[in-house]
């Protein structure tokens, strides 16, 4: 299954999301994602949600960037294997991503109106690579 996920190409008619799984010491894996900015919270921190991409058009470029495998994940079993065993980068179908990582998509309620620029500048977060958690 792992070999298949490392070599398969995404489907043409499905949206995908780029997620990252990091191994931790005995805890649940840490998860991050390629993101889009949607605003600032009341503390001046950026609020970000996963950014969809055309998996078929993106996969070769993404695989060219990373030295480690980039998995294409299209089933529950594949997702759980990637998340808890393989780790690394995965393109995950929209349906699976929203089922398993729904809290990452449901962040619009955190966006505040009229956040003072001093708070924003004080946070000084670096999202130059568009990766958030």
Q: Is residue 116 part of a domain?
A: no
Q: Is-contact 132 32, C-beta < 8 A?
A: yes
Residue 130 lies in a domain: no
Within-domain flag for 52: yes
pLDDT at 124: 72
Domain-embedded: residue 93: yes
* Strands of the chain, DSSP E: 15-22, 30-40, 46-50, 52-54, 70-73, 88-93, 131-132
* Res 117: pLDDT: 87
**Predicted local distance difference test score (pLDDT) of residue 131:** 80
Q: Is residue 119 part of a domain?
A: no
Per-residue pLDDT of the chain (133 residues; tens, 9 = 90+): 999 999 999 999 999 999 999 988 878 899 999 999 999 999 999 999 999 999 989 999 999 999 999 999 999 999 999 999 999 999 999 999 999 999 999 999 999 999 988 888 888 766 666 787 7
pLDDT on residue 127 = 64
Total domains in the fold of the chain: 1
In a domain, 84, yes or no: yes
Asked if 17 and 50 touch (Cβ cutoff 8 Å), the reply is yes
Q: Could you tell me the residue range of the domain that residue 88 belongs to? A: 2-39+48-110
The whole-angstrom separation of Cα 110 and Cα 44 is 11
127 located within any domain: no
pLDDT value of position 28:
85
């Amino acid at each position: 299954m792992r070999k298949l996920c490392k070599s398969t190409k995404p489907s043409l008619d499905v949206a995908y999301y780029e997620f990252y799984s990091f191994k931790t010491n005995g805890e649940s894996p840490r998860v991050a994602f390629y993101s889009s900015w949607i605003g600032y919270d009341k503390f001046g921190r950026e609020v970000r949600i996963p950014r969809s991409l055309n998996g078929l058009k993106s996969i070769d470029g993404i695989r060219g960037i990373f030295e480690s495998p980039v998995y294409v994940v299209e089933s529950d079993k594949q997702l759980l294997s990637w998340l808890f065993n393989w780790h690394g980068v995965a393109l995950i179908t929209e349906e699976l991503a929203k089922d398993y990582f729904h809290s990452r998509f449901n962040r619009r309620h955190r966006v505040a109106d009229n956040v003072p620029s001093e708070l924003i500048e004080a946070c000084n977060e670096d999202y130059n690579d568009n990766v958030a958690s």
